């Protein structure tokens, strides 16, 4: 008896679902590429601003430390010195935030890149034609492989997020053992 | 003059820590990761070590453990200065032999208070 090659309704449905999955993965990958660009642009702006602030800070800090080294025991410390030091101490706190935000953006960029890599991998799984398009099971297997790849990417992102978590509530806290 | 080793892979953070400590009269030497920190600590006698946790090559906890194995650093205070704030991480720090745990971003006045306290 001759075998029919025309797809069953099940196979047609599975093929449509597989196509939809490819479209979703490709669209998501495009959006993530846009996000990666925006993150890189934000980071470049922040780096530039941080660099300018650091130059200004360094100039003031160096002069202050040099002035302190020149002090003699008999010369009372200038009141202005304390005021400037207080301002610089406040700057220290905010400059650290710039630095920490930069690190957070780095971590986000890494996550976006990893997810894009996984989505690209998933999309590449859809490239080779299925052996027998009339078999629903083959489309389902391909979709499952793509989904497994995407889920692995999401899990990796979750693991990385746990490792780089910083908690604003505890910022500045001290524990002495 | 007391010498303090500041270990952090961020040049900005090292600079901030160094400025605050130098403005209070301490001498500061810097290292950009745990491995370099260990090297600096063995070539220069330090009265206090302040280290970040997440760094390339060698992290802060490994640095603490390595320093505690050295005779000269058995009793030298070591502070972790990091964005990590979980109790589990702090427990690891304590077990490794750290003296204290400070969460970034630090307040300069608080850092100086803690430094004075542990150096007493």
- Predicted local confidence at residue B112, as pLDDT: 96
Residue B93 has pLDDT above 90, yes or no: yes
Report the residue from B23, B105, B118 with minimal CB separation from A96. B105
Contact B84, B54 (CB under 8 A): yes
- Predicted local confidence at residue B15, as pLDDT: 92
Q: What is the DSSP string of B73-101?
A: GSSS-EEEEES---HHHHHHHHHHT-SEE
Percent of chain A with pLDDT over 90: 36
Provide mean pLDDT across the span B78-86.
93
d(CA B109, CA A60): 18
CB contact under 8 A, A172 and B85: no
Structure tokens at B82: 């990091």
Provide mean pLDDT across the span B78-98.
94
d(CA A99, CA A7): 58
- For residue B109, the chain A residues in CB contact (below 8 A) are 89
* CATH number of residue B75's parent domain: 3.40.50.2300
- For residue B22, the chain A residues in CB contact (below 8 A) are 65
Q: Comparing C-alpha atoms, which of A124, A120, A112 is closest to residue A33?
A: A112
Q: Which residues contact A10 (CB under 8 A, 6 or more apart)?
A: A136
- Model confidence over A92-114: pLDDT tens digits? 988 898 888 888 898 899 899 99
Number of domains in chain B: 1
Residue in A with minimal Cα distance to B108: A89
Range of the domain at B63: 3-119
Provide mean pLDDT across the span A162-172.
65
d(CA A70, CA A68): 5
- For residue B54, the chain A residues in CB contact (below 8 A) are 164
Q: How far apart are the first and last CA of chain B?
A: 13
Residue A38 has pLDDT above 60, yes or no: yes
Q: How confident is the model at residue A2 (pLDDT cuts 50, 70, 90)?
A: very low
Provide mean pLDDT across the span A2-21.
79
- Model confidence over B21-53: pLDDT tens digits? 999 999 999 999 999 999 999 999 999 999 999
The dihedrals phi and psi of B106, each to the nearest 5 degrees, come to -90, 155
Residue A74 has pLDDT above 70, yes or no: no
- Model confidence over A110-144: pLDDT tens digits? 899 999 999 999 999 988 888 887 888 889 999 99
- For residue A96, the chain B residues in CB contact (below 8 A) are 12-13, 16, 104-106
- Predicted local confidence at residue A1, as pLDDT: 44
- Predicted local confidence at residue A47, as pLDDT: 87
- Predicted local confidence at residue A76, as pLDDT: 61
Element (H, E) at A128: none
What ipTM was assigned to the predicted interfaces of this complex?
0.82
- Predicted local confidence at residue A61, as pLDDT: 87
Provide mean pLDDT across the span B52-63.
95
Q: Which of B6, B11, B12, B77 to mutate to test the interface with A (most CBs of A within 10 A)?
A: B12
Structure tokens at A35: 């996000």
- Predicted local confidence at residue B55, as pLDDT: 93
pTM to 2 decimal places: 0.77
- Predicted local confidence at residue A84, as pLDDT: 87
CB contact under 8 A, B99 and A89: no
- Predicted local confidence at residue A73, as pLDDT: 54
Where would I find the beta strands (DSSP E) of B1-120?
Answer: 3-7, 27-31, 48-51, 78-82, 100-103
CB contact under 8 A, A92 and B117: no
Question: Would you tell me how many other CB atoms lie within 10 Å of the CB of residue A82?
Answer: 10
Residue in A with minimal Cα distance to B22: A65
Could you tell me if B101 lies within 8 Å of chain A, comparing CB atoms? yes
Could you tell me if B95 lies within 8 Å of chain A, comparing CB atoms? no
Parallel, antiparallel, or unpaired: how do β-strands B100-103 and A174-176 relate? Answer: antiparallel
What SS3 class is residue B41?
helix
Contact B8, B58 (CB under 8 A): no
- Model confidence over B10-23: pLDDT tens digits? 998 999 999 999 99
Mean pLDDT, chain A, as a whole number?
84
User: For the ranges A62-71, B13-22, B79-88, B103-112, which has the lowest average pLDDT?
Assistant: A62-71
| Cα distances (angstroms) measured from residue A175 to each of A100, A163, A169, A170, B54 | 21, 21, 14, 11, 18
CB contact under 8 A, A174 and B118: no
- For residue B10, the chain A residues in CB contact (below 8 A) are 99, 103
- For residue B93, the chain A residues in CB contact (below 8 A) are 177
Provide mean pLDDT across the span A26-37.
95
A76 CA: distance to closest CA in chain B (Å):
16
């Amino acid at each position: 008896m001759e075998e029919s090659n025309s797809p069953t309704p099940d196979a047609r449905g599975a093929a449509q679902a597989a196509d939809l999955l490819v479209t979703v993965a490709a669209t998501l990958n495009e959006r993530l590429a846009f996000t990666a660009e925006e993150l890189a642009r934000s980071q470049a702006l922040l780096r530039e601003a941080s660099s300018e602030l650091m130059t200004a800070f360094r100039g003031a800090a160096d002069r202050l430390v040099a002035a302190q080294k020149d002090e003699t025991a008999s010369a009372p410390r200038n009141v202005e010195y304390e005021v400037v030091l207080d301002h610089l101490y406040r700057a220290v706190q905010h400059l650290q935030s710039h630095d920490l935000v930069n690190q957070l953006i780095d971590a986000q960029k890494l996550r976006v890149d990893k997810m894009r890599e996984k989505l690209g991998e998933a999309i590449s799984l859809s490239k080779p034609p299925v052996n027998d398009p009339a078999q629903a099971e083959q489309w389902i297997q391909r979709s499952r492989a793509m989904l497994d790849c995407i889920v692995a990417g999401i899990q990796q992102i979750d693991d990385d997020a746990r490792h780089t978590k910083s908690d604003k509530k505890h910022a500045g806290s001290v524990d002495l053992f | 003059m007391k010498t303090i080793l500041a270990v952090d892979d961020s040049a900005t953070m090292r600079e901030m820590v160094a400025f605050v400590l130098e403005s209070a009269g301490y001498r500061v030497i810097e290292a950009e990761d745990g491995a370099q920190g260990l090297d600096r600590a063995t070539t220069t006698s330090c009265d206090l070590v302040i280290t970040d946790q997440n760094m390339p090559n060698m992290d802060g906890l490994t640095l603490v453990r390595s320093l505690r194995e050295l005779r000269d650093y058995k009793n030298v205070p070591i502070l972790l200065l990091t964005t990590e704030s979980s109790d589990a991480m702090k427990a690891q720090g304590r077990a490794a032999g750290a003296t204290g745990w400070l969460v970034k971003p630090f307040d300069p006045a608080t850092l100086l208070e803690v430094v004075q306290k542990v150096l007493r």
